[in-house]
Amino acid sequence: HALSGGEQQRVALARAIAPRPSMLLMDEPFSGLDKRLRDHVREETMAIIRETRATCIIVTHDPEEAMRMGDRIALMRHGRLLQVGTARQLYEKPVDLYAARFFSELNEFEATVKNGRAETAIGTFSAHGHADGAQVAVGVRPQGVGFAIAGDGVPGRIVGHQFLGEVDLLSVAIDGSDRPVRVRTRDNVVPFTVGSTVWLTADPRDVLVFAKESE
């Protein structure tokens, strides 16, 4: 009763690991800890599990935790397996828009494929594997949106700015999109002033194209 919630959680983890089991099932074991303590306890726990060579199945709703801890990740939706693979495989080649959304924030656009390409408000991208005339959903990761010199790229107006320490998070309104484009950047050359005009480009490596699904 004298222990804090975080201390109780650490004791529970220690009791589970102490018998050196061959298999462990953990259901969101670090959810009750603050971020700094969670990172520390998670690293300690994984080091012990690897030392004992135990198989560990961890349930989590935190995509970063899954990517940091899992040798293999099984993504589930409505009680069914959607995709299984390494963190890199699921991040770089998600099977559908749901999988892509789970591992990264997305700027989403609708488009119709024409001549093998999808034209969106932020640019035109390859739609390889999709037939001409097909309706597609295009997702652009915020970290894949960059800035160009005036006159190049897509013009936009900064409508929101948050400094997050490692990056700046911007909201940029552009023509043809009902929602502002989210941009995560370390580019401190551009003055991030709300109301100022910027020119946006998108890195094709951070663009994902999927068949449009009925919600």
Rounded-to-integer distance, Cα 46 and Cα 31, Å: 15
- Rounded to the nearest angstrom, the gap between the alpha carbon of residue 70 and the centroid of all alpha carbons in its chain is 15
pLDDT score recorded for residue 97: 94
> Whole-prediction pTM value?
0.85
pLDDT of residue 108: 97
Which residue numbers in the chain have pLDDT < 70?
188-191, 214-215
Q: Which amino acid is at 5?
A: G
CA distance 10 to 30: 9
User: What's the CA gap between 118 and 95, in Å, rounded?
Assistant: 18
As a dihedral over the C-alpha atoms of residue 88, residue 93, residue 98, residue 99, rounded to 10 degrees, the angle is: -20
Specify the pLDDT at position 36.
81
